[in-house]
Amino acid sequence: MQRDLAYGTGKLQFVLPDGVNPILIKPNSIPGLPDPKAETEKVLKHPEGTPPLLDMLLAKKPRTVVVVVNDITRPTPYDVLFPPLLDIFAKAGIKDDQVTLIIATGIHDPHTREQNLEVYGPEIVNRFKIINHDGLDESNLVNLGKFESGYEFIVNRMVVEADFVITLGVVMPHYFAGYSGGRKSILPGMVSKATVQSNHARMVELMDNLPPIDQNPVSNEMIEAAKLVGVDFILNVVTNDAKEVVCVVAGEVHKAWRKAVDVSASMYEVPFRHQVDVCVTCACGRPRDINVYQAQKALDHGDRITRPGGTIIVAAECPEKFGETVFEEWIRRRWAPAKVMQEIKANFVLGGHKAYGFAKVANEKEVLWISSLDADETSLIWAKKVPTVQEAVDMALAKHGRNATWVYMPDGSLSLPVQKA
């Protein structure tokens, strides 16, 4: 039987021989909403934990409005979110020149104008001022003191000084924060690199045993950050594996986001009982396989369901190579996986945490990687380059035999395998 894996904007095929019947790990997909724009209009009028957005704007009469938006690595249906939101701005008397869109880049690369056009569309780009957050630009950062953890909270000055702050996002599984969206628009999206680093340093304690979302210290500090900044309103969606909107939430930063988390978890958390010998997966195509840095999520999910000594096959195009300079510096040291893990645990550095994610898997398992990287580049992430998925499948068959157990996970960056007793 032929099976497919998303790869860039296309697909790759492979066939398993008769008698090899893989477990299918796939989201419990919820049908897309018949009219997601109408649903967006509805939740803006009936939000969670706040008055309707129009009432809030009319009461506050903001002179400056900041809308925090995702970058290209976080696929978000802006064609669904922007029209109802802008309609409310018009009703509230807010002019285009009062609104600034800030891209929550975190430590990702800034957008080019071409990427803005691709992500937000020409109408938005031509109507509004759009700027990239820069976590290294001290002139546009302000220190708001310390979190309960004792770490300093340094954040984008424009967000702090805006009269009204709205964040847009999508709520999906995240390999150590639990779920994206909501509070993540601020931390890591709009803070200094140092603040991201102190928050993310705890990931090495969480990756092997991720706690429930409400007990996750990384996530809880993100919630604290959003509340300290004074996010007035969020507008978030949950999308299915076909990128259709299945849920829209709006309102108070934690309450609305938490509602979306429950919907996302019901769809993307997929139970399994036993780890397998071989996992075949992918990073879901563009933009989730735009670079190695982003594609790591698929590897992490494959790691969850593959036994020590097993093989993980990952298809991820990675046309933009590695995706982050510090991450690339770490992997180019060509240290053994165990040494990378030891060093990051002892001296955490942002960017190095992705090297940790790859090293953690390679320390116990074989990784076969299908991408646009050459063999030497692939070896930097402790993986073996294989030209096709079929060749990787054949290699795994030869290594583990016809009686091996297999998983086919076609939505690797989205499906979150959760082991059940």
The domain locations on the chain are 2-27+273-419, 36-268
Q: pLDDT tens string for the chain (421 positions)? A: 899 999 999 999 999 998 899 999 999 989 999 999 999 999 999 999 999 999 999 999 999 999 999 998 888 999 999 999 999 999 999 999 999 999 999 878 889 999 999 999 999 999 999 999 999 998 999 999 999 999 999 999 999 999 999 999 999 998 888 999 999 999 999 999 999 989 988 888 777 778 899 999 999 999 999 999 999 999 999 999 888 999 999 999 999 999 999 999 999 999 999 999 999 999 999 989 999 999 999 999 999 999 999 999 999 999 999 998 999 999 999 999 999 999 998 988 888 989 999 999 999 999 999 999 999 999 999 999 999 999 999 999 999 998 999 999 999 999 999 998 6
User: For position 377, what pLDDT does the model report?
Assistant: 98
Alpha helices in 306-388 (DSSP H): 325-331, 337-346, 352-362, 375-379
8 A C-beta contact, residue 132 and residue 138: no
Residue 157: exposure state from Cβ atoms within 10 A (0-12, 13-18, ≥19): middle
Look at the domain 2-27+273-419 and name its fold. 2-enoyl-CoA Hydratase; Chain A, domain 1 (3.90.226)
| Of 199, 205, 217, the residue nearest 152 (C-alpha) | 199
Calculate helix-pair angle for 53-60, 36-45, nearest 10 degrees.
50
Residue 211's CB is within 10 A of a number of other CB atoms, namely 13
Q: E strands, 38-128, where?
A: 65-69, 99-103
Neighbouring C-alpha atoms within 13 Å toward the C-beta of 104: 31
User: For position 276, what pLDDT does the model report?
Assistant: 98
User: For position 74, what pLDDT does the model report?
Assistant: 84
Question: Which CATH superfamily is 36-268 part of?
Answer: LarA, N-terminal domain (3.40.50.11440)
Which helix (H) or strand (E) element contains residue 95? none
Secondary structure class of 13 (helix, strand, coil): strand
8 A C-beta contact, residue 350 and residue 403: no
CA terminus-to-terminus distance, the chain: 31
Write phi, then psi, for 351 (nearest 5 degrees). 100, -45
User: For position 283, what pLDDT does the model report?
Assistant: 97
User: For position 107, what pLDDT does the model report?
Assistant: 76
8 A C-beta contact, residue 270 and residue 277: no
| Of 80, 94, 72, 120, the residue nearest 289 (C-alpha) | 72
